[in-house]
Amino acid sequence: MHNQNNNCVFCKIIAGEIPSKKIYEDEDILIFYDINPVAPVHVLAIPKIHIESLNSINIDNIEYIPKIFEKIPEIAKNLGIFEDGYRVITNIGENGQQSVGHLHFHIIGGRKLKWEF
Ligand code: AMP
């Protein structure tokens, strides 16, 4: 069983307690549509264990990072944004404007992105 945090919205999505529009799932990671998209394509890739942010990555949990990154180009192809390009973002902490305290990578595309949305 994966390490979960009862107060975490993404842990609840992983547990199926909150609905989500899933794109890809395996035993370690989940990729699903962002509820509040900032571009025509906006999905989130998360590890299935509760890691607060990139600040909490260490030797014991770093295995989730290549698992997520290995899937991103495949997902980008499926979503039709691979050729034109897209952006992968992870926000960290208050100044990074992280609003959900469970490590996630935004995959955003489908239009020409400005530096600020
Ligand atoms: P951040 O601000 O980087 O922490 O990003 C959190 C993202 O999670 C935002 O883009 C939200 O729109 C998204 N989000 C929050 N709750 C949900 C949810 N229940 N399902 C899908 N996306 C969500």
Q: Which atom of ligand 1 is nearest to the CA of 99?
A: 4
Render each residue's pLDDT in the chain as its tens digit; 117 residues.
467 788 999 999 999 999 999 999 999 999 999 999 999 999 999 999 999 999 999 999 999 999 999 999 999 999 999 999 999 999 999 999 999 999 999 999 999 999 886
The verdict on whether 42 is a catalytic residue reads no
CB 103 within 8 A of CB 48: no
Give the model's pLDDT for residue 117: 67
For a ligand 1 pocket test, name from 54, 99, 107 the mutation site with the most ligand atoms within 8 angstroms of its C-beta: 99
- What span, in angstroms and rounded, lies between the C-alpha atoms of 57 and 103? 9
Q: Which two tokens stand for residue 59?
A: 């030797």
* Catalytic-role residue among 50, 102, 104, 106: 104
Beta carbon of 90 within 6 Å of any ligand 1 atom: no
Give the model's pLDDT for residue 5: 83
Which of these, 31, 19, 27, 30, lies nearest to 2 by C-alpha position? 27
Q: Residue 14: in which H helix or E strand, if any?
A: helix 9-15
Give the model's pLDDT for residue 116: 80
